[in-house]
Each structure stands twice: as structure tokens, then as C-alpha cells.
Amino acid sequence: MSASTLRSHSDSDSLVLRHNTVARSLRAELYRLRAWPAMWATVGTWFLLAMVFGYVFPYVSYTTGTAGFSTEGEPTEALLRSVLPESIPDVLVQGTPLFGGALVLVLGALIAGNGYSWGTWKTVFTHGRLRPTIGALLALAVIVAAMVVVTAVLCTIVSVSLAAIESQPLTMPSADALLRSAGTAYLVFMMWGTIGFALGTYARSAALSVGLGLVWTLVVENLLRGVGSALQLVEDVTAFLPGTAAGSLVGAVTGGGDGTPGVVDVISGPRALITVTAYIVVAVVTTGVLVRSRDVN
């Protein structure tokens, strides 16, 4: 057997081994997260908020004739239409830029940060650093995908039930609209999740990374957008922020903010898509650089 043949077999065996290691890391991470109460609490909070803000508040306002802070100024017909099946794509994605994104950022920060706080990364990294990290990021991607799918299912169940209660025609959204909203929700969630993972890796602390992430998403960006209305320089800077990109991408899908918290129309849809994707890539690359360049201790 020639040397080139031996090298070819060796390279293929090495590639298979790397793939198997990543797959095992993914399975192990999913097994760990499945038994982790913090993960279920975070994901469950998203489902609860999505249903409350997407259906409970609008429907209560419609039936009682009273407007809350989330439905103020909307006509009765619009309130009813917003909880029917035809509005599933909007409900699916409208909460992702702000409170949904903040929850996924928390989840990403917890996945990365707790590994340092508990000392588990120190043990896992004895078998290599990059592949376990890739497995953890893939586990985050799987959880985010499951969140989007389950949210779509819950929206369908609730909206169909309300349509039956109100004796409204069952008009389902088109597959294109549903897929576009699901893809947008997934990208926005992944952006915030990978940013949280990078923060957890940088801070090596779940509490610190969660605190920094929440202060940024819920306070700093909103303050900068408020100041930007008076200062052109600040307004130019806010156009490149992750919250602005996520809100503008959702706004491009839903057709505008319409007063929904976090949904804006600051930049165009294509530019927002590029910015969100760029943040995902930068967060993943930053995580890899930090993991490989720093001592575990």
C-alpha cells in the first residue's frame, strides 16, 4: 500500500473521529440540558409570554372593550383579527426581538457560563476544547429550533380555538408566510443565543454574563434609540446594534412596528438580515477564539 493511500485512510479516519466527537458532545449537552430546570424555566417563560402578549391580552381587550398598554389604539376588528389563524406568522415572530431574545440570551449565557462556574468545562476540555464547544452551540441551535416549532404549534392551537369560539372562518396563513416568520424567529433567537454564549465564555460566570446581557438588551439599546432621536451620531450608531437589526428584521416581516415593543423599521429588511447573520458569525468565532486562546483556569 502506498504512502498516499495510507495518508488518505488516516485523514478520513480522523475526519470521522472528529464528527463522532462533535456528535457525542451534542448528545451529551442535550442530555444535560434536558434534566436542567433552568432550561425548562427559561423556555417555558417564553411560551407563557408569547401566548399572553400574543393572544390573552388582545382577546381580553376585544371581549371587554378595554385597551391595555399592548393594545391601546387598536380597533376592535383588528384585535379580533390579530388572534385568528391568519395572524399566526405575526404572533410567532413579534415577541422575539425584545423579551424573547432576552430569554434566549440568558439561556446561551447559562449554558456557557455555568460550565465554568461548576468546573465542568475543565473536565470536558481535557479531551479537546473546540469540539465540545461546537457541540454546546449545536445543542443551543437545536433548542432554539424546538422553541420556534413549539411556539408555532401553540399559536395554531390557540388561534384555531379562538376562531371556533368566535365563529370566525378558519383562514390559515400561507406556507411561505409561516416559513418566513419561523426563519426570522430562528435567526433572531440564534443571534441573541450566540451573543449570550459568547458573553458566558468571556465572563466565565453565568450571573455576570446574564446581568450584562439583560442590561444591554432591555436598558442600554432602548436608551440609545431614545437619545438617537436628538443626536444624529448616536442614531447612526444604533443602526448597527443587534437589537435594532433584530427589530428591523421582524418589522420587515410583519410590515412595521405598530407599537410592538422591540419591533422597529430603522433599517431595511435585507440589511437587517445581513446584520443579524453577521452577529451570529462574529459571536461564534469570538467564542472559538476565547476557548482556544485562554487557560481554562
Instruction: Tell me, letter by letter, the H, E, C secondary structure of 57-82.
Output: HHHHHHHHCCCCCCCCCCCHHHHHHH
Nearest to 158 by CA among 55, 82, 61: 55
Q: Indicate the SS3 state at residue 170.
A: coil
Cell triple for 45: 417563560
Percent of the chain's residues with pLDDT above 70: 85
pLDDT of residue 13: 46
| pLDDT of 124 | 72
Q: For residue 51, what pLDDT is reported? A: 95
User: Dihedral sign, CA of 203, 206, 207, 212?
Assistant: positive
Q: Do the Cβ atoms of 66 and 227 come closer than 8 Å?
A: no
For 26, 99, 105, 116, the CA distances from 251, given in Å and listed in that order, are 33, 15, 20, 37
The cell numbers describing 133, all together, are 464547544
| pLDDT number for residue 16 | 46
Confidence of residue 17 (pLDDT cuts 50, 70, 90): very low
Is the pLDDT at 288 greater than 50? The verdict is: yes
pLDDT tens digits along 235-258:
778 888 999 999 999 999 988 756
List of residues 6+ apart from 31 with CB closer than 8 A: none
Phi, psi of 230 (to 5 degrees): -110, -25
CA distance 61 to 82: 11
Rounded Cα gap, residues 114 and 128, in angstroms: 18
Please give the distance of CA 90 from its chain centroid, rounded to a whole number.
Answer: 16
Residue range 47-82, pLDDT digits in tens: 999 999 999 988 988 888 765 545 555 677 888 888
- Count of CB atoms within 10 A of residue 277's CB? 15
**Across the chain, what does the average pLDDT equal?**
84
Is the predicted pLDDT of residue 129 greater than 80, yes or no? no
Least confident span in 67-71, 217-221, 259-263: 67-71
**What's the whole-number mean pLDDT along residues 154-165?**
94
Question: Mean of the pLDDT values across residues 173-190?
Answer: 95
